[in-house]
Amino acid sequence: MNAFISFGQSLIKSFLAVGAFGLLLLLVSCDNGPVDPGDTDDFNRETMLVNWADNIIVPSFTAFQADAEALAAATDAFVQSVSQENLDELRQEWKDAYISWQNVSMFALGKAEAIALRTRINTYPLDKEQVDSNIDGGSWNLELPSNYISQGFPALDYLLYGIGDSDAEILDLYQTGEKASNYRDYLQQVSATIYSLIQDVVIDWNQGYRDSFVQNNGNSATASVDLLINDFLFYYEKHLRAGKVGIPAGVFSSGLLPTHVEAPYKQDFSKELLLQSLDAVQNFFNGVKFGGTETGESLDSYLDYLNSIKDGADLSQLINEQFDAARAKINELPDNFAQQIETDHIPVLQAYDELQKNVVLMKVDMLQALNVNVDYVDADGD
Amino acid sequence: MNSTLSSYGSKTTDAAPLALFRILFGLMMAISILRFYLNGWIEKLYLEPAFHFTYLGFEWVKPLGGFTYFIFLICGISALLVAAGFKYRFAIVSFFLSFTYIELMDKTTYLNHYYFVSVMSFLMIFLPAHKAYSVDAARNESIRFQFIPQWSEDAIKLMLFIVYFYAGLAKLNSDWMLEAMPLKIWLPSKYATPIIGDLLQESWVHYLFSWFGAIYDLSIGFLLWNKRTVWIGFFAVVVFHLMTALLFPIGMFPFIMILSTMIFLPVSFHNRILTFFSTAFRTKGQIFKNGKKYISKANWQSQGLKYVLLLFFVLQVLIPFRYLLYPGELFWTEEGFRFSWRVMLMEKAGYTAFVIEDPDKGHRFYVENSRFLTPFQEKQMSAQADFILEYAHFLEETYKAEGIRDPKVFVESYVALNGRRSRVFVDPKVDLTTIRRSLSARDWILPFEDEIKGL
């Protein structure tokens, strides 16, 4: 009987011990908090957000701001003194800024989303007729949504390369043509608008948005990680894969659309823009510091961490290999996509197919691994 | 045997538990409807989408434009009437019909807990839940009873038992028990959860939650039904559902289950609560303690009722097993997956692109899904075969109207299930316009080529 009681007592004691240990575990983890940087076993999402904001997003926005400023200055110089030399200078600044834009286009959140940055800076194909009629009529308002398709880099592409058959003809339109002052004003305003839009975005990031972005480190559909991953995938699927390659190559239409390439008037620039945007996407995926080679926490290390939990396929490596495969295919293409599509669109489709494979890897496998929310609605996984 | 049954049939119990269940159910439903409206979901889920996924046989159930708000209004008011026990039979029928209509409008939003509400409210049509603590019984002495048949309370309990037990059976598979999937995917992403965020990264926690979940679901019905363990069981219910409310976006469900399972608690508990509220609202709760027993008469109605309930429960027991009629992996094909209490059971993600072929011109092109579907619809469509087929038929009609005489629709689809690598889901060589919507096995889904053992 005594033995039975003492067995009972020791049983109760061990229950209490287990309970206390459980409580202790809770307290310890509470002490550490979910975002303790010293916790090396755990992947730190806030560090990832800091890396994204401080090493990638803000520096690349700031760099683009400088390039947009240079573009606006070169435009001013050109309209003040129309000359072949200033046109060449302006064209170079346009190319530099357009390349620089590829680094930031994917970050459509916060102010950039609120002011429709991407729509206003790079919606193509351009509505050429509307640009012509704006200039012809002599009045326009680039703030109007109806004018979003007649401004930005595509408008400059047209105004710098497309309005005449030769440089002399183009210079004439700005210098001596009947509507020369309208042409100069429109050109100047398009460049100035690009600069002012990006200024707003940079100011916003520097004045508080960066902190709220980093602090919004939860796991709802409106948390920074979820928002940016959704933006990133949307950009890759819709703007890079479809916009730059798929749509012009006729993937989504019943005919080829060579005029829908990016920078159709410059012609031999589409490939360079695509390659830059692919680099930007892959660098973001790998957390590469803007303008450097140093890497920080990003999707690749996040996937590696989650993978270490579930012991699955090495997704980050597969995705990187697929980026490389797509780049190799794109490198086989000539600089002039429009011409290639007209003569033989199959090689462009092949590049598209390689880009497409990463849509599957990222939208299905990666999203599942990250368990990112698409939208806020009740759902129970079935 | 027959005499045991008939003596069970005439056994009575206090009307308070079922009455409190009716009140709480009605209130929770009214709050759910209000929450749905306040979240803007009526607009977002039923009015904004250009296309809606329907249930086989219920293609005619569609959102009704601005009138959709009116259906929600009817549903909300009916729920309040049920809670008040005012014109109860009319109110519960109206609630069942309006709620079920809402759920049938678009399959995209299917949740087991919505099905639970439909099933429960259907069952309640046949139960004397308004014989006490209701406006009806307060106004009309002839339907006021302190005691109601035991079976009417047991019907609710049995339904709850089935929900839990089947949810538990469904967890007895190798992914859940041996791989801790999908919790191994879901829990780490809840890193921002206060206090336990870090613990949720640990593998042993994923296994603990998986096993605890399975054991909980299988045993909770027994614990609740046994008088000696009912309080332990109810404590487990509260802990379990608060945990799920903390971790998963499942809305009102945890609270509905916590309040529903209160029906298992002792009669004295219900009487205390009802007396408290009667006093608080200055109503005469005592009038319902009239000692009268409500016994169903031996007429054709109560005979018919007996068979309705019998058939109802036989179907409830059988429907979850209908998946056995289909070949292939249930989680992959989802043939017989819904309406079976398979709750929080798998993580499935998909990508499905549609190719339209114009045989007259030999053109092929891809469809921009965002032209027709919301992100939520696209997500649900991408991994579920019946959605893919219905959408393919919609695309056929759409492109016919846009001038393609006889469009063929092919899909490129990839689905990943419970952390496995994605693989091709639908046979890309099949023209989906040649497949009819039906309940027969979908031979156009490619095999899973893996095995999830278990029920």
How far, in Å, CA of B105 to CA of A28, rounded?
A: 48
Contact present, B112 and B69 (Cβ < 8 Å)? no
- B400 near A CB under 8 A: no
* Predicted pLDDT at B189: 85
pLDDT tens digits for range B367-403: 989 899 998 999 999 999 999 999 999 999 999 999 9
* Predicted pLDDT at A377: 60
- Residues 6 or more apart whose Cβ sits within 8 Å of residue A345: A249, A250, A256
Residue type, B131: K
pLDDT of A29 above 70: no
If you average pLDDT over residues A12-38, what whole number do you get? 39
Name the band, by pLDDT with cuts 50, 70 and 90, for residue A173. very high
pLDDT tens digits for range B26-45: 999 999 999 999 999 999 99
If you average pLDDT over residues A75-94, what whole number do you get? 97
**With pLDDT > 70 as the criterion, what percentage of chain A qualifies?**
86
Do β-strands B423-424 and B363-366 pair in parallel, antiparallel, or remain unpaired?
unpaired
Of A42, A254, A372, the CB nearest to B363: A254
Name the band, by pLDDT with cuts 50, 70 and 90, for residue A306. confident
Name the band, by pLDDT with cuts 50, 70 and 90, for residue A39. very low
pLDDT tens digits for range A264-289: 999 999 999 999 999 999 999 999 99
pLDDT of A40 above 50: no
pLDDT of A31 above 70: no
Name the band, by pLDDT with cuts 50, 70 and 90, for residue A14. very low
| Residues B237, B238, B239, B241, CA torsion sign | positive
Lowest mean pLDDT among A19-28, B119-128, B332-341: A19-28
* Predicted pLDDT at B2: 60
pLDDT of A38 above 60: no
Name the band, by pLDDT with cuts 50, 70 and 90, for residue A23. very low
- CB-CB neighbors (< 8 A) of A365 in chain B: 349, 416, 421-422
pLDDT tens digits for range A324-378: 999 999 999 999 999 999 999 999 999 999 999 999 999 999 988 888 876 656 6
If you average pLDDT over residues A54-79, what whole number do you get? 97
How far is B317 from chain A, CA to nearest CA, in Å? Answer: 20
Question: CA nearest B107 in A: which residue?
Answer: A382
* Predicted pLDDT at B254: 92
If you average pLDDT over residues B73-83, what whole number do you get? 97
- B256 near A CB under 8 A: no
pLDDT tens digits for range B174-221: 999 999 999 999 998 888 888 888 889 889 999 999 999 999 999 999
How far, in Å, CA of A284 to CA of B341, rounded?
A: 41
| Residues B139, B142, B148, B149, CA torsion sign | negative
pLDDT tens digits for range B262-303: 999 999 999 999 988 888 877 777 888 888 888 877 677 778
Question: CA nearest B187 in A: which residue?
Answer: A371
* Predicted pLDDT at A36: 36
Residue type, B253: F
Q: Is the peptide bond before B182 cis (omega within 30 degrees of 0)?
A: yes
Average pLDDT, chain A: 87
Question: CA nearest B39 in A: which residue?
Answer: A377
Q: Please answer yes or no on whether A369 and B185 come within 8 Å at the CB atom.
A: yes
- A23 near B CB under 8 A: no
If you average pLDDT over residues A103-118, what whole number do you get? 95
Three-state secondary structure call for residue A263: coil
What ipTM was assigned to the predicted interfaces of this complex? 0.83
* Predicted pLDDT at B298: 67
**With pLDDT > 90 as the criterion, what percentage of chain A qualifies?**
77
**With pLDDT > 90 as the criterion, what percentage of chain B qualifies?**
79
pLDDT tens digits for range A192-231: 999 999 999 999 999 999 999 999 988 777 889 989 999 9
DSSP state, B426?
B
* Predicted pLDDT at A258: 96
Task: Pick B375 or B20 by higher pLDDT.
Answer: B20
pLDDT of B240 above 50: yes
C-alpha to C-alpha distances, A348 to A279, A321, B188, B377, nearest whole angstrom: 18, 19, 40, 31
Q: Tell me the count of A-B CB pairs closer than 8 A.
A: 147
Name the band, by pLDDT with cuts 50, 70 and 90, for residue A15. very low
* Predicted pLDDT at A42: 67
Q: Please answer yes or no on whether A371 and B365 come within 8 Å at the CB atom.
A: no
CA atoms within 13 A on the CB side of A164: 13
Of A242, A254, A360, the CB nearest to B422: A360
* Predicted pLDDT at A30: 39
- CB-CB neighbors (< 8 A) of A353 in chain B: none
* Predicted pLDDT at B362: 84
- Residues 6 or more apart whose Cβ sits within 8 Å of residue B164: B217, B218, B220, B221, B341
How far, in Å, CA of B163 to CA of B156, rounded?
A: 11
If you average pLDDT over residues A124-141, what whole number do you get? 95
> Quick one: which of B373, B442, B353, B367 has its CA closest to B407?
B367
Helices (H) and strands (E) in chain A, counts: 18, 0
Task: Pick B303 or A241 by higher pLDDT.
Answer: A241
How far, in Å, CA of A282 to CA of B11, rounded?
A: 71
- A253 near B CB under 8 A: yes
